[in-house]
Amino acid sequence: MRYLLLVYTDERLLPQFMTPEVFEQFEELGRELYASGRLLMTGGLADTSSATTVRVRDGQVLVTDGPFAETHEQLGGFSLASYDSLEQAVAMAARVPTATVGCIEVRPVVEIPAPP
């Protein structure tokens, strides 16, 4: 099954947290996952100040600059990977370095077939 690991952190804490050692931990984990064939896609996101939020209300498109919500933790990145169980996905999420200063949300991906 595919799982999406959503990485949430307080982006104000990242400048002091993201040391060269932490970058190396991320790179090592990425190399391991790519080598295992489990990692399908991964990426980081720009700061929330660069976000654009789109809503449709009563047929009108509303576009707002900035983050969609005021929270202490922001979505900062993601990984899409294939695991045999939720337990495997959770074990991998626990190895993400920023889990120590934020959280990793693990969500199964619902496969939607392409239209005919």
Q: What is the pLDDT of residues 3-28, one digit of tens each?
A: 999 988 888 888 888 899 998 998 99
Q: Which of 113, 73, 89 is nearest to 4 (CA)?
A: 89
Contact (Cβ atoms closer than 8 angstroms) between residue 109 and residue 1: yes
Contact (Cβ atoms closer than 8 angstroms) between residue 83 and residue 38: yes
Tokens 């952190």 found at: 9
Distance of CA 25 to the CA centre of its chain: 16
Contact (Cβ atoms closer than 8 angstroms) between residue 7 and residue 96: yes
Q: How far apart are CA 108 and CA 105, in angstroms?
A: 10
Q: How far apart are CA 115 and CA 95, in angstroms?
A: 37
The pTM of the whole model exceeds 0.85: no
What the chain holds in terms of domains, given with CATH numbers, is: 2-45+75-108 (3.30.70.1060)
Q: How far apart are CA 4 and CA 62, in angstroms?
A: 28
- What's the pLDDT tens digit per position in 53-110? 888 899 998 888 866 655 677 888 899 999 999 999 999 999 998 888 888 999 999 8
For the beta carbon of residue 116, count every other beta carbon within 10 angstroms.
3
pLDDT (0 to 100) of residue 65: 80
